[in-house]
A and B are shown apart, each in its own frame.
Chain A
Amino acid sequence: MKSAVIVFPASNCDRDAATALEQMTGQKTHMVWHQDSELPDVDLVVLPGGFSYGDYLRCGAMANQSKIMGAIKKHADKGGAVLGICNGFQVLAEAGLVPGVLMRNAGLKFVCKPVALTVEETQSTFTRKYSAGQTVTFPVAHGEGNYYADKDTLDRLEGEGRVMFRYQNNPNGSARNIAGILNEKRNVLGLMPHPERVVDPLNGGTDGRALFQSLIETLS
């Protein structure tokens, strides 16, 4: 599986994502600068965590205006896999590649801790190596992870099996405990918790490995 990680100004999980990908795939990951207008030939594009553009205006809003987003939208339109983690999820939501918005945490505090999640769906490129209902622990680190969408959108996400991960103890006020969702075509996943931080046992867990294994199995 060939992959690329997008680097925005103030991305800070780009190298974590690349390290996880390289460890899992055994292949070099392309680091793509936000001002580039084209993607290399890859199967997976990762929008990493961080605070792109200092979260100015709204988190993800400025990153969505950067040059590379046009190429990412094209890649997604063609059915290419896109994974947005944390700030990457916020960028995907601003770009309309997944529905809804990530708002300020209901408790107003930055939340930084491991959280237990339920894997809701395994019918996807991203989660097929998990079992449905499985509990996994991923770290979260965000101030704006409070997922919001109108009732119809939430009903549709649930009805179409597009809620992939749910918090077992909601840390941020997210609607229906949503931690991660798919787009309609099921090739774009946005999630607030960090699977790339739980790939190496030295970092305290390996629950994120199955997400990358799922991608490798489907896209290689």
Chain B
Amino acid sequence: MKARVFVTLKNGVLDPQGKAIGHALNGLGFASVGDVRQGKVIDLELSETDAAKAKETVKAMCEKLLANTVIEKYEIELK
């Protein structure tokens, strides 16, 4: 089973990298771009075959290491 984890900054936490990307896109002529937020994608290969258990395990990984929940939130997608 594969899992994809999206780690992004919580709403309200300043994202200077996202801002810089937004400015650069505006500079390239993409005038329609407003606020930009960036984050990380982490792909995991798991030996687990039970989806519920896999999700539980990946959630624990997010809490312990993959995200810093003071500033970041995460979403888990199983494939």
What per-residue 1/0 map shows which CB atoms of B18-57 lie under 8 Å from chain A? Answer: 0010000000000000000000000000000000000000
Closest approach, in angstroms, between the C-beta of A29 and any C-beta of chain B? 30
What per-residue 1/0 map shows which CB atoms of B40-79 lie under 8 Å from chain A? Answer: 0000000000000000000000000110101100000000
Interchain CB contact under 8 A, A148 and B16: no
Residues of A within 8 A of B16 (CB): 104-108, 146, 173
Does A100 sit within 8 A of B, measured CB to CB?
Answer: yes
Does A94 sit within 8 A of B, measured CB to CB?
Answer: yes
Q: State the CA gap A59–B77 with chains docked (Å).
A: 25
Interchain CB contact under 8 A, B71 and A108: no
Interchain CB contact under 8 A, B65 and A100: no
Interface of A is mostly: loop
Total B residues in contact with A, Cβ cutoff 8 Å: 10
| A148 partner, pick from B13, B17, B20, B66, beta carbons under 8 A | B13
Interchain CB contact under 8 A, B66 and A57: yes
**Number of A-B residue pairs having CB atoms within 8 Å of each other in the complex:** 33
Q: State the CA gap A107–B13 with chains docked (Å).
A: 15
Total A residues in contact with B, Cβ cutoff 8 Å: 19
Interchain CB contact under 8 A, B71 and A103: yes
| B65 partner, pick from A57, A146, A150, A173, beta carbons under 8 A | A57
| B70 partner, pick from A57, A65, A146, A149, beta carbons under 8 A | A149
| B13, closest chain A residue (CB) | A148
Closest approach, in angstroms, between the C-beta of B58 and any C-beta of chain A? 15
Closest approach, in angstroms, between the C-beta of B13 and any C-beta of chain A? 7
Residues of A within 8 A of B14 (CB): 103, 106, 148, 173
Residues of B within 8 A of A173 (CB): 14, 16
| A101 partner, pick from B17, B65, B66, B71, beta carbons under 8 A | B71
Q: Which B residues form the contact surface with A (CB < 8 A)?
A: 13-14, 16-17, 20, 65-66, 68, 70-71
Q: Which A residues form the contact surface with B (CB < 8 A)?
A: 57-58, 61, 65, 94, 99-101, 103-108, 146, 148-150, 173
User: 6 A-B contacts, Cβ less than 8 Å apart?
Assistant: A103-B13, A105-B16, A106-B14, A107-B16, A108-B20, A149-B70
Known contacts A57-B66, A107-B16; 8 further A-B pairs (Cβ under 8 A): A99-B70, A101-B70, A101-B71, A103-B71, A108-B17, A108-B20, A148-B14, A149-B70
